[in-house]
Each structure stands twice: as structure tokens, then as C-alpha cells.
Amino acid sequence: MRPLAFLVAAALLSACAGPRVRIDRGFDFSRVSRVAVLGFPDYPGRGGSGRLLRDALAQSLASAGYDVADPGRTEATLRRLGLGPLIGPNQARGVGRALGVDAVVLGRITDFAAAQSRVVNVAVETDRTEPVYGRRVRRVRGPDGRWRDADDEVVRGWRTTRVVQRGPRIYSDPGRLAVFVRMLDVRSGAALWSASDSIEGGALGEEAQDLADDVLKAVSSTWPAGGR
């Protein structure tokens, strides 16, 4: 098998920084027009997450100009061959022949956490400023014309007191989704490209589609003619 000339196209710093991709620059991608998405295993404790990501990736591949094999037929073929969604190079050849595709796309969810909020009681400090009153005596003339002393309450200054109270605060975790995806050539079993990416926020379905779109855009130089 000829060596692969991989090129790192971007660093995975955050969802905003974009995916980290590796592309076999020596491969003729015009040979790939029909592909099958083999699916993704569910993330532990998150049933259905693999199917959501598979469907999102199939939609992004179709928008990029690929002829995507029917997911139902792909699932049935894998079951008939006794395979799961994660296969090796030798198995990719058999799956490719059975489905009549040029390449297969597969991967795994590397991290997933649903968005959530929690309420925590925290100590909140505030300063309360109050006036300091004093008394002042002054001489006043009464109605009968006699003088007498009168007491007045006056502000002598101000006093600041630190007040500590406990109250609820809401902390929100926007959630996150991270994936690793690759495309395998069914003739050689070699990886044509691979990508790792992550995203925060939103519902799982929205995150999956945004992530799939980001991955495909990062390898847009490999798309067939006529892609978006």
C-alpha cells in the first residue's frame, strides 16, 4: 500500500476554531461519488445519539454533492455481514462491494453532555449605609413670649455595615458534543480523510447537524463536483 501524504489543515482549539482534519493529498477524490455512512455507536448512557449524528452526516454529505446510500440498506448490510458501525480496512472492502459505494464514512462520539442548569445557594455580601443621628439643643421662643430649650434630631454622619446573605444563583452548562469522523476508500481500505471537532450549546439534534456541516466544510477540497 502506498504511503499516505497527510496534511494537518486546522488545529482543534474549540468549536469556533474549527475541526482538526487530515487529508490524503495524493488521492484522486474524483473517484469518490457514492458513499455510505456506517453510523456511530451511541455515546454511553445516551441512546439514539449515534443515529442522530449518522443522519446529520448523511445530510451534510448529500448537500456536498455525494450520492449517499440508503441508511436502512446500509444497516441491513452490516447486520448480514455481522459487522457494527466501526470497521477496519479489510472489512471496508467487503462492505463497499456489498453496497456498491466508493467510500464509507464512520466514526465515534468522543464526548457528549446535555445542557443543564443547577441552583446553588451562595453567600452574597452587600454594604448597607445608614445615617447616624444625634441631638441638638436650641433656644426657641414660645407663643407666650418665653424662651425655652428644644431638642432636634440631626444627622451627625453615616455608618456603613457589611451584610452577608445567602441566596440562590443559577449556573448553566451549555452542553457539548465532540466527534471523530473518517472516510475510508473501499478499494484499499485506506483513510482518505479524518476529522475531529467539538461544539457547545443547543439541542443534540442541532449540535449534531452543525458539527456535521463543520466537518464537511473542513474537507470541502475533497467534494465531488456540484457540491454546495
> What are the tens digits of pLDDT across the range 60-111?
999 999 999 999 999 999 999 999 888 888 899 999 999 999 999 999 999 9
Helices (H), the chain: 49-63, 71-81, 89-99, 204-218
How far is Cα 93 from Cα 85, in angstroms, rounded to an integer?
Answer: 14
Considering the entire predicted model, what is its pTM?
0.69
pLDDT, position 227: 57
Angle, CA 85 vertex, CA 209 and CA 180 arms, to 5°? 50
Could you give the CA distance from residue 215 to residue 78 in angstroms, rounded to a whole number? 24
Over residues 161-173, the pLDDT tens digits come to 888 878 777 767 6
Position 202 scores a pLDDT of 61
Q: What percent of the chain has pLDDT over 70?
A: 89
CB 33 within 8 A of CB 196: no
In total, the chain counts a number of residues equal to 228
In the chain the domains, ranked by start, together with CATH numbers, are 6-115+174-221 (3.40.50.10610), 118-171 (no CATH)
User: Distance of alpha carbon 33 from its chain centroid, rounded?
Assistant: 29
Q: For residues 141 and 132, what is the distance between their CA atoms, to the nearest angstrom?
A: 28
> Packing angle between helix 49-63 and helix 204-218, nearest 10 degrees?
40
Residue 137 grid cell? 439643643
Cell of 194: 479524518
User: Does residue 11 register a pLDDT over 50?
Assistant: no
